[in-house]
Amino acid sequence: QVQLVESGGGVVQPGGSLRLSCAASGFIFSTYGMHWVRQAPGKGLEWVTFIWYDGSKKYYADSVKGRFTISRDNSKNTVYLQMNSLRLEDTAVYYCAKDRMRGGTYIDYWGQGTLVTVSS
């Protein structure tokens, strides 16, 4: 069965950095695109970033462009989210999520999420 396990969340000060990891199993990781989606406390879902199945293309929400970087290591079945220059408004549960296809379509599996808290 598909499993996505996020790690790396925690408390960080404004302006700080954090790196999230997502270990995938139960499917051929190298043939699917991957997303990160976040959810601020008590709020709705916000798409953050997407990476093509082979890492050749990456897309970002305007709210994180220039501060966040998505990457993947297909040999380790892992996708990463490097978050720099963190702001209070980046506080959220971050979900790693698998796309149905190689490119961007819909999300068919989600991890359980990791909480990132930006606070002074």
Partner 1 sequence: EIVLTQSPATLSLSPGERATLSCRASQSISTYLAWYQQTPGQAPRLLIYDSSTRATGIPARFSGSGSGTDFTLTISSLEPEDSAVYYCQQRYDWPPWTFGQGTKVEIK
- What SS3 class is residue 13? coil
Which residue spans within 8-77 are E strands per DSSP? 10-12, 18-25, 34-39, 45-51, 58-60, 68-73
Residue 9 binds partner 1, judged by CB under 8 A:
no
Q: Which of 12, 70, 111, 116 binds partner 1 (CB under 8 A)?
A: 111
Instruction: State how far the Cα of 78 lies from the Cα of 102, in Å rounded to an integer.
Output: 15
> Applying CB under 8 A, which of residues 20, 70, 92, 107 lies at the interface with partner 1?
107
Stretch that binds partner 1, among 10-18, 22-30, 39-47, 75-83 (CB under 8 A): 39-47
Q: Does 38 bind partner 1 (CB under 8 A)?
A: no
Binding of partner 1 by 108 (CB under 8 A): yes
Among 41, 62, 75, 120, binds partner 1 (CB under 8 A): 62
Q: Which is nearer to partner 1, 59 or 91 (CB)?
A: 59
Cβ(114)–Cβ(9) below 8 Å: yes
- Number of neighbours of residue 4 by Cβ within 10 angstroms: 22
C-alpha distances in angstroms, 64 versus 38, 68, 118? 11, 6, 14
Contacts to partner 1 by CB under 8 A: 35, 44-47, 50, 59-62, 95, 100, 104-113
